[in-house]
């Protein structure tokens, strides 16, 4: 009985563990070189629905449209860079899985290290101030009060 349950669980759960290939056979180009270029470009384009998947791994309709658009542009004779530029112009720079290093992105790329350096600077100032400490000497009145408390 245990083996039957285990076998049924394996049959039911097996499709969950296998990757879903989103590129449909009707999308594949007949020219293997163009198809290879399309796959390479698609690896760098984000699915705007799934967010953290490239368009080749996504089953979303928009990802399919983007895959078809990439292939259409390649068949029209565009270079790889022209295809990427066309998609970026149409959907914005967010469509790139690896953002470019210029313009506003420089601010974003530099913000992390800048915050780290600022945090280190504040930490050093804090520790230096703490190391100096405050004046721990007691006044005569405080010493008298302390002696009175300790004598009790």
Q: Phi and psi (nearest 5°) for 45?
A: -105, 130
If you compute the radius of gyration of the chain from its CA atoms, what whole number of angstroms results? 31
Q: In whole angstroms, what is the distance from residue 144 CA to residue 14 CA? A: 81
DSSP string, 44-68: TBB-TTTSSSBTTT---HHHHHHHH
118-140 per-position pLDDT tens digit: 999 999 998 888 777 666 678 88
Residue 118 buriedness (CB in 10 A; 0-12 / 13-18 / 19+): exposed
pLDDT above 70 covers what percent of the chain? Answer: 84
Read out DSSP for 72-138?
Answer: HHHHTT--HHHHHHHHHHHH-GGGBSS--SSTHHHHHHHHHHHHHHHHHHHHHHHHHHHHH----PP
Q: What are the domain boundaries of the chain? A: 17-95, 106-151
State how far the Cα of 3 lies from the Cα of 7, in Å rounded to an integer.
6
Contacts of residue 146, defined as CB under 8 A and 6 or more positions apart, other chains included, come to: 138
Residue by residue, pLDDT tens for the chain (152 residues) are 766 666 666 666 655 443 445 777 777 888 889 899 999 999 999 998 887 888 988 888 899 999 999 999 999 999 999 999 999 999 888 898 887 777 777 787 788 999 999 999 999 998 888 777 666 678 889 889 989 999 88
Question: Using CA atoms, how far apart are residues 99 and 46, in angstroms rounded to an integer?
Answer: 11
Q: How far is CA 45 from CA 48, 85, 125, in A?
A: 9, 11, 44
Which CATH architecture is the domain 17-95 placed in?
Answer: Orthogonal Bundle (1.10)
């Amino acid at each position: 009985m245990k083996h039957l349950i285990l076998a049924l669980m394996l049959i039911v759960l097996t499709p969950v563990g296998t990757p879903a290939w989103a590129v449909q056979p009707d999308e594949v180009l007949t020219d293997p070189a163009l198809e290879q270029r399309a796959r390479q470009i698609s690896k760098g384009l984000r699915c705007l629905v799934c967010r953290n998947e490239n368009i080749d791994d996504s089953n979303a309709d928009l990802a399919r449209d983007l895959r078809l658009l990439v292939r259409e542009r390649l068949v029209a004779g565009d270079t790889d860079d022209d295809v990427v530029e066309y998609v970026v112009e149409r959907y914005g720079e967010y469509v790139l899985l690896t953002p470019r290093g210029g313009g506003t992105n420089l601010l974003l790329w530099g913000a992390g290290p800048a915050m780290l350096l600022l945090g280190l600077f504040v930490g050093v100032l804090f520790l230096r101030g703490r190391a100096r400490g405050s004046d721990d000497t007691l006044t005569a009145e405080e010493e008298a009060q302390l002696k009175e408390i300790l004598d009790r």
